Amino acid sequence: MKKTMLAGTSIALIALFSPLQETFAAENNGKGEVRKIDNIAHRGASGYAPENTIAAFDKAVKMKSDYIEIDVQRTKDGELVIIHDNKVDRTTDGTGYVKDLTFDQIRNLDAGSWKGEEFTGEKVPTFDEILDRYRGRTGILIELKNPELYPGIEESVAHELKDRNLDKPRNEKIIVQSFNFDSMKKMDRLLPRVPVGVLTSSRSHTTEQALKEFSTYAEYFNPNYGIVSKDLVDRVHSLDMKIASWTVRSQATADFLVDMNVDGIITDYPDYVDPRK
């Protein structure tokens, strides 16, 4: 069920007066309107601090990002944690699959020193820690990472959001996205008032038929920038969806996406997305 039908005018009013909307781009879209491009910090300001850590998320907030993007997985004993890879090897001093490790095992890992000595001791955060620390300070784009590995993770995420009244559009900005489309259909049923996004890097998902199917349950179509074109953006918009593209790691890519008229830019470097351009 499309959330735009449920939320109506109240969402528009909240968006208009939200402090998170103060970074409107000064670019005019030719119709006398000011166009908003959301600045979404990919795993936090991960170009400057270790990804998916408090250091990276705090840096993103300091850089006035509109959203932080987080990756949610689940430990062996059922704790929702924020980490991108299925294994802890790349971003911590540990080894093994997230699903095979307990929360205490993961919590004792160093998730920062690989990025620099100044980040030594950074921990893998929990989902509830991120919600409690950043709600009201910035929007949160929640990616369910490989949810097929974690049966029931959708219900767990929905529970944490509902417990904080974050399933209501009048509260802080929350979006849930995944490459797993069935998972997002499920999230749409569990949280009918929370925007859902589908992630893809495949052109096969940009056909008219595919986009129409996505639009029946998703508010966001979020592709890799390599398949973005003005025609695609226009077709997504014509179906009453928004488009946020990833992952920006250069100024040239950020500028390209601005020119393409996307609604959000997911970037390791929030300062590449200057809303005043």
Q: Just list the catalytic residues.
A: 42, 84
Rounded distance between C-alpha atoms, residue 101 and residue 78, angstroms: 10
CA angle 168, 66, 2 (to 5 degrees): 40
Measured in degrees and rounded to the nearest 5, phi and psi for residue 80 equal -80, 125
Residue found by looking up tokens 């990472």 in the block: 145
Amino acid at 191: L
One-character DSSP codes across the chain: --HHHHHTHHHHHHHHH-GGGTT----B-SSS-BPP-EEEEETTTTTTS-TTSHHHHHHHHHTT-SEEEEEEEE-TTS-EEE-SSSBSTTTSS--SBGGGS-HHHHHTS--STTT-GGGTT--PPBHHHHHHHHTTTSEEEEEE-SGGGSTTHHHHHHHHHHHTTTTSTTSS-EEEEES-HHHHHHHHHH-TTS-EEEEE--GGGGSHHHHHHHHTT-SEEEEBGGG--HHHHHHHHHTT-B-EEEEE-SHHHHHHHHHTT-SEEEES-GGGS-TT-
Residues in the chain: 277
Residue found by looking up tokens 């039908």 in the block: 5
